[in-house]
Amino acid sequence: MLWAPGATLAGSLPSNWSACEKLEMVNLASNFFSGEIPHELTRCNKLWHLELSYNRLKGKLFEELPVPCMTVFDVSGNSLSGSIPSFYNGSCQSVPSIYGYPSGMYGPSSAYLSFFANKAKSGSPVQSFEGDGEIVILHNFGGNNFTGSLQSMSIAPARLGKQTTYAFLAGENKLTGPFPGILFDKCNELDKLILNVSNNRMAGQIPADIGTICRSLKLLDVSNNQIVGFIPLSVGEMVSLVSLNLSWNLLQGQIPTRLSQIKGLKYLSLAGNKMNGSIPYSLGELWSLEVLDLSSNMLSGEIPNNLVNLRNLTALLLNDNKLSGQIPSGLANVTMLSAFNVSFNNLSGPLPLSNNLMKCSSVLGNPYLSPCHVFSLTVPTPDPGTATVAQGYIVSPPSQSQKSGNNGFNSIEIALIASASAIVSVLLALIVLFFYTRKWRPKSKIMGSTIKEVTIFTNIGVPLTFENVVRNTGSFNASNCIGNGGFGATYKAEISPGVLVAIKRLAVGRFQGVQQFHAEIKTLGRLHHPNLVTLIGKVYKGCGLEDLHKIALDIACALAYLHDQCVPRVLHRDVKPSNILLDDDFNAYLSDFGLARLLGTSETHATTGVAGTFGYVAPEYAMTCRVSDKADVYSYGVVLLELLSDKKALDPSFSSYGNGFNIVAWACMLLKQGRAKEFFASGLWDAGPHDDLVEVLHLAVVCTVDSLSTRPTMKQVVRRLKQLQPPSC
């Protein structure tokens, strides 16, 4: 055997494995090996335990590897690519299981078996099954770059049997193809099957007969894929099922009432789909249920009262639906319930009286609910105790790109987003000044109301539109620039034959907000004097939902990549508008990694000095100095709120609400009062569609809630934004 996990070994794996044909156990996990897995390793035909997880390996797997006969095969957390092969099925020798190896067999390796058993119980997705069936065979391909579709179950026929529990883990890859029904072909020949293919790109439908062909299924996780269609009724026949996660797919239809037949079900998540109808009353009969997550669907009707009978329930997440009626008062008596969220529904009536259960962040966006008096928002409180927290923030200075402009970008003009209001306006607010004109006659009267982004102060009889201004300045070409000032550059443009005007291009970020910009320009438009240049009008081109969606999705994808695909993972720690760049096509780029921190693959958080920018730093990070990827999620949520509202995180307009009030508190307040319309930037709500705008607002608020478990991951944010893809013009 060769056993050296976590030994900080580096370099390439040795190639002289041909001399180790009798080798049975290899564990080189959690090191720094790079390069490819050597082909010579296929000669070790007696190998039954191979663990190379959490290294830096790349390349492809060889189909000659004796994986089907292996008890343990773990290559998770690398950068392996290609397809998962249909491994060669040879004859398998008798080998021990992970737990409870046969008496008298492989005695010298018993300590290592025990070590791996404990490791698997503490770090695998099947840790809750201890004492309820043993994991006999574990094949883990997760956290790589595998592509293509799954061809077969990687277990030899000789290893099948009613005493065998098989765990096939291939989550966090780039697998495509249909729902992995091929893996169920031999399911009923096993005692139990554990299947995790989450966070891939699989599509297709769940087989209608899944309950018949795979009654031995213990755990099924196909979350974060592109599964479509309906949940088949036969799912109720999978009586061995303990955990079912179909979240963040494209499923629709109603929740099958037959789920209540799975009496041992402990975990059920259908979140992030398009499920409609009511919550089945029969779910209240799942006595073993510990987690019920039906959030982010289109469920309607009332919350079933008999859910209060689920005494083992620790998490009930029903937020972002269309539920109505009252919150069952008996939920306050479910003593195990620690995570509860019904925000953004149409619930009404009183709140359950429970100090442990009820937080106002868990009931936001229900305008007909009784007022919540234990408001717990992710905002600093105005008492003196928060002053020390605020002093702990590090306010970032302007980045170099802010100071030097975009001269280094050659032919691609990158516009630096200097503030939230500048994001929404795409750095383009134009004042049209009448400069010189030859003799002409008015041809038509301009109806300013028909072009929403144009306001006319002096009618010169020539149509003024955003497109006209951009076209006649040559897209603000430098050859047409006639001057620069503290508020922007001035360009000449002949907007009609004989009509020459000066165009002043302003950055709205120099004003406190777009509202102030509009107010001040309106005042200037009333001024007339023979020796003053006449202000003809203003052209203000704001972002529509399509552009906002593109920017939000681009940044979400960037953060999801840093959090989930980089090895080691990267926390940005300073997500804010001035660290976001836009090119001419509204492609968004995340910049400035000066405060980024590398996070080991096995780490969930790190303890570090507080860094970031005041207004964007997550509250738990500021108070405990413990940072996780959820801190970036919070910052992203603040930026998303700014995109939608045209306001800054700490906008001066919030001063009337008192110290410590910020954009998160403002969004929560308006949603709670049923005044979501007032949150959106001028013109954005009118452009619509309203449902999609409110959905994006809900997503932004969920990103900024206090509870880390309620905040989505950036992968989930990406998935939700893709589901909300607005129609193209």
pLDDT in tens, 666-687: 888 888 888 888 888 877 887 7
Note the pLDDT of residue 270: 95
Are the beta carbons of 299 and 275 closer than 8 angstroms?
Answer: yes
- Give yes or no for a cis peptide into 371 (omega within 30° of 0): no
Note the pLDDT of residue 134: 57
Per the DSSP assignment, residues forming a β-bridge with 540 are 429
Average pLDDT over residues 291-308: 94
Rounded CA-CA distance 199/221 in Å is 9
Helix (H) or strand (E) holding 571: strand 569-571
Note the pLDDT of residue 500: 81
pTM for the whole structure: 0.57
Contacts of 447 (CB under 8 A, 6+ apart): none
Ranges 322-331, 558-567, 720-729, most confident? 322-331
Across 289-378, the runs of DSSP E, i.e. the strands, are 291-293, 300-301, 315-317, 322-325, 339-341, 346-349, 368-369
pLDDT digits (tens, 9 = 90+) for 180-225: 778 888 888 888 889 999 999 999 999 999 988 888 899 999 998 9
| Residue 317 CA, distance from chain mean position | 17
Note the pLDDT of residue 97: 52
Per the DSSP assignment, residues forming a β-bridge with 503 are 432, 491
Q: Is CATH 3.40.470.10 the right assignment for the domain spanning 429-540?
A: no
Range with lowest mean pLDDT among 250-254, 595-599, 687-691: 595-599
For residue 699, report the phi and psi dihedrals to the nearest 5 degrees. Answer: -60, -45
Single out the catalytic residue among 74, 293, 320, 574.
Answer: 574
Mean pLDDT of the chain: 74
Rounded CA-CA distance 699/251 in Å is 19
Structure-token pair, residue 275? 């499920």
pLDDT digits (tens, 9 = 90+) for 489-506: 788 888 777 778 888 776
For residue 695, report the phi and psi dihedrals to the nearest 5 degrees. Answer: -60, -45
Residues in the chain: 729
Q: Which of 357, 267, 242 is nearest to 308 (CA)?
A: 357
More confident residue, 300 or 668: 300
Q: Which of 572, 545, 578, 502 is nearest to 714 (CA)?
A: 572
| Residue 525 CA, distance from chain mean position | 45
Helix (H) or strand (E) holding 163: strand 161-169
In the chain, what are the domain boundaries? Answer: 1-231, 429-540, 546-723
Note the pLDDT of residue 433: 43
Third-level CATH fold of 1-231: 3.80.10
DSSP assignment string, 19-46: GGTT--EEE--SSEEEEEPPGGGGG-TT
Q: Report the CATH number of the 546-723 domain.
A: 1.10.510.10
- pLDDT band for 457, please (50, 70, 90 cuts): low
Q: Which of 42, 220, 70, 188 is nearest to 140 (CA)?
A: 70
Structure-token pair, residue 141? 């391909």
- How do strand 429-437 and strand 534-540 relate by DSSP bridges? antiparallel
Q: Which residues are annotated as a binding site for ATP?
A: 504
Tally of CA atoms within 13 A in the half-sphere of 177 that contains its CB: 18
pLDDT digits (tens, 9 = 90+) for 598-608: 544 444 444 44
Judged against a pLDDT cut of 90, whether residue 284 lies above it is answered with yes
Judged against a pLDDT cut of 50, whether residue 173 lies above it is answered with yes
Contacts of 186 (CB under 8 A, 6+ apart): 153, 155, 157, 160
Helix axes 714-723, 690-703, angle to 10 degrees: 180
Q: How many CB atoms lie within 10 A of CB 369?
A: 22
Average pLDDT over residues 519-544: 67
Helix axes 545-564, 714-723, angle to 10 degrees: 150
Are the beta carbons of 233 and 207 closer than 8 angstroms?
Answer: no
583 is annotated as an active-site residue: no
Helix (H) or strand (E) holding 641: helix 629-645
Instruction: Say what the alpha-carbon torsion angle 24, 29, 34, 37 is, to the nearest 10 degrees.
Output: 30
Note the pLDDT of residue 520: 59
Rounded CA-CA distance 470/480 in Å is 11
Rounded CA-CA distance 716/629 in Å is 13
Judged against a pLDDT cut of 60, whether residue 337 lies above it is answered with yes
